[in-house]
Each structure stands twice: as C-alpha cells, then as structure tokens.
C-alpha cells in the first residue's frame, strides 16, 4: 500500500516536472549549435574546384553572424571555426562522436548541421567498332568453325544530374537510439537545478519515460524546422527535393544529439551551377539567410506555445 502511494506520488511528481519542463521549453531556444559538415583531413564531397568542408564552413560562419545579430538573446556556438577538424580527429566516425559530444555538453537546444550533396556518376558504354569472334559447333567430323561479329565498347562516366536542396531528420526507427542519448545527456535537468543533489533521483523507468516524451518532441520540432528551411529555399527560387529521413553514417550525429537536430544539404557539388552558387559570397549569404529566416520562424512558433 505504502509502495503504491509512493508510486502515485512519483507519477504526479513526474507529470509535474514534465509540465514544468514543457513550460520552461516555451522560450527554450537558448543555445544553437551550428555544425559545418566535415573538416580537413576529411574534405567531404569534391566539386570541380572546391571542397564540401570549405563551403559548409563559409556558410556556417555567415549563418552564425546572422543568428547573433538577429537573436541576441540566444547563444550560438560552432563545432568548428577552422578548416581543420580540431585535435587528433582522424575520420568521420570520430568527428561525429566529437560533434555530438560538443552539442550535448554545451546543452544545445537546436543542432543545425550543414552539408553539400554529391550525385554519384553513372557508367555507360557505347559501341566503338566490331571484332570477329571465332566459335565452334559439333564434335568429331561434324565440328565446324564459325565466326561472328561482336561489338567493341568504350565505357564512360556521366556525372550525376541531381540538383537542389534537401533537409534531413533522423529516421524515426532510430528514436530508441536518440532516446538513449536524451536520457544520458541531460540527467541533471531531471533532478532540478544543476548540481543540486538534494533533489531525489528518478528511477530509471521514470527517466526513460521522460526521455521518450522529449525524444518525440524533439522529432516533431526537427521536422518543423526542416520544413521551414526547405520552404525558405523554395522562396529563394531554389529547387527543393524535400524533407527526408535518412539513416546513414553521416546522420548518426542527428540521433546522438539530445536536442532537435536537422541536417541540411544546401546543394549539389556535382552540379556546376550549384557549385558556383555555393562558392559565391552572394549564394552563401542567401543560404545563410534562408536558414536564419527558418530559425526565426521556428523560435516564434516555439515562444508562442504553438509547438509541443
């Protein structure tokens, strides 16, 4: 009986904290993490004359400047400000762990990851002449020699023709993984003020429930921002390939960050005019401004309490 009573109080306490958390989240865009994809020694996709990692850095820097100007109350951090990855990071997997750790340790409320797309080239063949092939039929005295003309081919690659923008959220079936990170990344928030050890700890079940609530909320917020960003690209006159869910290595960072997280592919490296656009000051400023407008709208919706 006493146990039951405790459990009921526990559930009420949990609901109360949950509500408090939702309330607190209404004006909860306090820290934005901007993550320029890749970084040397990992250049990312290569175009005719430029690297993905340099473009993402240039756009991210412009975005950060704009965010700081337009949202002075919001702390904006970059995962890297240099062409190189920091420290001894050697590969994409290590770098992704570091990105997620950086975002989680800095208690980001939003993670914006910037990348450039790459359309794989396809191999085709064309007939460049013919040769004579000899073959035999029958056995013994019936054995006959024949010849046949067969085409000779030359193989060539055709660059991918895809172009446009697309923005990713993590695959919904990865919610369990996201939930683990959510549960492990901000435990102190579950116990009251940071560093206040006098507040009783939740059981792991209760923590898990809270982490589930947050993960769902983070997912719908990520989807909202992703849609707002693509809307802005379209307004700019870009071709939008839409909002997508992806579950590849590069996307791991989206479910390893305990906050709403999106990854925006700002164009195709393999499309010559998009490579030019993404390398131009004007293009970079437009892309940064498109993302900024989306974040401003996202914040307005959050602050107005229109988003759960």
The residue among 44 and 283 lying less far from Zn ion, judged by its C-beta, is: 44
Residues in the interface with Zn ion (CB under 5 A) total: 3
Site string for Zn ion, 217-256 (x = CB under 5 A): ----------------------------------------
Query: How buried is 211 (Cβ within 10 angstroms: 0-12 exposed, 13-18 middle, 19+ buried)?
Result: buried
H helices of the chain, in order, are: 2-25, 52-70, 92-105, 175-185, 187-190, 204-235, 252-255, 272-279, 281-303
The residue among 52 and 109 lying less far from Zn ion, judged by its C-beta, is: 52
Contact flag: residue 44 with Zn ion (CB under 5 A) = yes
Residue bearing tokens 């067969």:
150
**Min separation Cβ 99 and Zn ion, Å:** 12
**Min separation Cβ 254 and Zn ion, Å:** 13
Bridge partners (DSSP) of residue 170 are 246
Contact flag: residue 37 with Zn ion (CB under 5 A) = yes
Contact by Cβ (8 Å): 265, 43: no
Site string for Zn ion, 150-179 (x = CB under 5 A): ------------------------------
**Min separation Cβ 88 and Zn ion, Å:** 21
Contact flag: residue 267 with Zn ion (CB under 5 A) = no
Contact flag: residue 115 with Zn ion (CB under 5 A) = yes
Bridge partners (DSSP) of residue 78 are 34
The residue among 17 and 278 lying less far from Zn ion, judged by its C-beta, is: 278
Segment interacting with Zn ion (CB under 5 A) among 1-9, 29-37, 156-164, 181-189: 29-37
Residue bearing tokens 């914040």:
299
**Min separation Cβ 56 and Zn ion, Å:** 7
Contact flag: residue 39 with Zn ion (CB under 5 A) = no
Sheet harboring 31-36: ordered strands across? 75-78, 31-36, 110-117, 261-268, 165-170, 240-246
Contact flag: residue 47 with Zn ion (CB under 5 A) = no
Q: Residue 145 — φ and ψ, nearest 5°? A: -95, 135
C-alpha distances (whole Å) from 162 to each of 118, 262, 272 are 8, 21, 11
Segment interacting with Zn ion (CB under 5 A) among 39-47, 78-86, 160-168, 288-296: 39-47
Contact flag: residue 66 with Zn ion (CB under 5 A) = no
Segment interacting with Zn ion (CB under 5 A) among 30-38, 58-66, 79-87, 193-201: 30-38
The residue among 37 and 39 lying less far from Zn ion, judged by its C-beta, is: 37
The residue among 36 and 283 lying less far from Zn ion, judged by its C-beta, is: 36
- Interacting residues of 62 by C-beta distance below 8 A, sequence separation 6+: 284, 285, 287, 288
The residue among 118 and 206 lying less far from Zn ion, judged by its C-beta, is: 118
Segment interacting with Zn ion (CB under 5 A) among 1-9, 114-122, 175-183, 256-264: 114-122
Three-class DSSP category at 64? helix
Helix (H) or strand (E) holding 268, with range, is: strand 261-268
Residue bearing tokens 């006159």:
237
Residue bearing tokens 């993302």:
291
Contact residues toward Zn ion (CB under 5 A) are: 37, 44, 115
């Amino acid at each position: 009986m006493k146990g039951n009573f405790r459990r009921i109080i526990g559930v009420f306490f949990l609901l109360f904290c949950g509500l408090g958390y939702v309330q607190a989240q209404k004006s909860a865009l306090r820290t934005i993490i901007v993550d320029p994809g890749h970084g040397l020694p990992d250049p990312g996709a290569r175009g005719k004359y430029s690297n993905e990692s340099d473009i993402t850095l240039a756009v991210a820097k412009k975005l950060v400047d704009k965010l700081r100007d337009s949202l002075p109350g919001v702390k904006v951090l970059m995962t890297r400000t240099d062409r190189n990855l920091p420290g001894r990071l050697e590969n994409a997997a290590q770098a992704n762990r570091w990105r997620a750790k950086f975002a989680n340790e800095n208690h980001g409320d939003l993670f914006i990851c910037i990348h450039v797309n790459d359309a794989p080239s396809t191999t085709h063949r064309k007939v460049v002449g013919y040769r004579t092939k000899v073959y035999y039929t029958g056995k013994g005295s019936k054995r006959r020699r024949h010849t046949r003309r067969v085409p000779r081919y030359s193989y060539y690659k055709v660059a991918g023709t895809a172009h446009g923008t697309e923005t990713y959220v993590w695959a919904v079936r990865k919610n369990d993984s996201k939930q683990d990170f959510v549960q492990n990344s901000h435990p102190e928030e579950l116990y009251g003020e940071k560093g206040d050890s006098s507040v009783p700890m939740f059981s792991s079940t209760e923590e898990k429930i809270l982490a589930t609530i947050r993960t769902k909320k983070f997912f719908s917020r990520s989807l909202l921002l992703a849609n707002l960003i693509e809307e802005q690209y379209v307004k700019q006159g870009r071709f939008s390939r839409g909002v997508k869910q992806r579950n590849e290595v590069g996307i791991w960072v989206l479910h390893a960050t305990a906050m709403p997280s999106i990854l925006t592919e700002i164009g195709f490296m393999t499309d010559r005019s998009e490579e030019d656009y993404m390398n131009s000051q004007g293009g970079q400023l437009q892309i940064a401004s498109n993302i900024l407008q989306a974040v401003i709208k996202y914040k307005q919706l959050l602050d107005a309490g229109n988003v759960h």
